[in-house]
Amino acid sequence: MRRRTFCSLAASLSLTPRAFADTRIRVAMIGTAHGHAASKIRALRKLPDYDFVGICRPDDDEPRDGEVFQGIRWLSLDEILNDRSIQLVAVETRYARNLGYAEKAVQAGKFVHLDKPPGSNLARLRALFAEASRQKLVVQLGYQWRYHTAMQAAIEAARKGWLGDVYLMRASIDKLLGPEERHELAQFKGGLLFEEGCHLIDRAVDLFGKPTKATGFLRHDGEAADGLADNCLAVLEYEKAMVEITMSAFQAHGSLYRFLELSGTNGRALVQPYAPPFRLAVDLKNAAGPYKAGEQQLRLPEPQGPVYGPDFMEMAHIIRDGAKPSYSPEHDLIVQETLLRVCGMG
């Protein structure tokens, strides 16, 4: 599964304003409760390719107050779905209902950016992709690190054989959860693994494909009496490789220690932390590709523009030019099937 690098993608897309305002893509958002919603509002309002029309808050339990909503036009669901000039809908509702709103948007003839994880019903997700394909539309999933340059470089080193025969991927994604977020995630058997593990399963599938076996270990070790799976491990098995993904909900500085490590017979590549500045450590027995033998610390370029800009830049290219998405529905279905399996929800 070869992917375009961010640099090649950025070279093919424009970050400069279009010559005519009416060439901008009209986009609206459904929902405000997802943890990525605020950043995506900022991205869509900033990117010159888009005309951000407004937001629908279809459910009363989703946020409406805050700096990010200043100057926003509030729309009804029907206003978004029935407006043929709106080409793209970003779905940022709670996990339990995001798939339903994505279905409504596709049925209305819209391209969709659907935030992760895409519900908990694999059959409905498969049907959503099928309906989008029938209408020549694209459903783009919002996995966070698809355009992370350090992760891309590590995966490239593995894919091109520079690390030798890759036998192990290890990754961690700790996150300190507050009471409200714990309460929402406790509705799902997979808990924190359901919410955060999907990102790293997406990276594993990008490199290795579909696992031959996927096992999840779901523990509740926190003090809160909410039953949340808050200390989790996912193990993916392949013919000649293993993937280990760990996460907990009570590491006070968890984001500083998140890592992704790929080990092969010629060495390893380590990304840590995930946040900018993007750093990659490579340690090779023998020089390979652009890397010398021995240890080396690299700082990689960061995507230009707002957070989540690369996702929406690619979507603009898809809508305008009929470009092929970097990630296929088949890839996304493997990720979701694997996620639900390790969460005991499949």
CB 200 within 8 A of CB 173: yes
Q: pLDDT by residue for the chain (346 residues), tens digit each?
A: 344 443 444 433 333 333 334 589 999 999 999 999 999 999 999 999 999 999 999 999 898 888 999 999 999 999 999 999 999 999 999 999 999 999 999 999 999 999 999 999 999 999 999 999 999 999 999 999 999 999 999 999 999 999 999 999 999 999 999 999 999 999 999 999 999 999 999 999 999 999 999 999 999 999 999 999 999 999 999 999 999 999 999 988 888 999 999 999 999 999 999 999 999 999 999 999 999 999 999 999 887 889 999 999 999 999 999 999 999 999 999 999 999 999 999 7
Residue 42's closest CA among 305, 313, 314, 275? Answer: 305
- What amino acid is encoded at 315 in this protein? M
Question: What does 45-75 look like in DSSP terms, one character per residue?
Answer: HH-TTEEEEEEE--STTS---SGGGTTPPEE
Cα–Cα distance list, 12 to 158, 318, 328, 332 (Å): 25, 12, 19, 24
Global pTM?
0.92
pLDDT at site 77: 98
The residues, ordered by sequence, that sit 6+ positions from 180 with a Cβ below 8 Å of its Cβ are none
Angstrom distance (rounded) from CA 55 to CA 235: 39
Cis upstream peptide for 273 (omega within 30°): yes
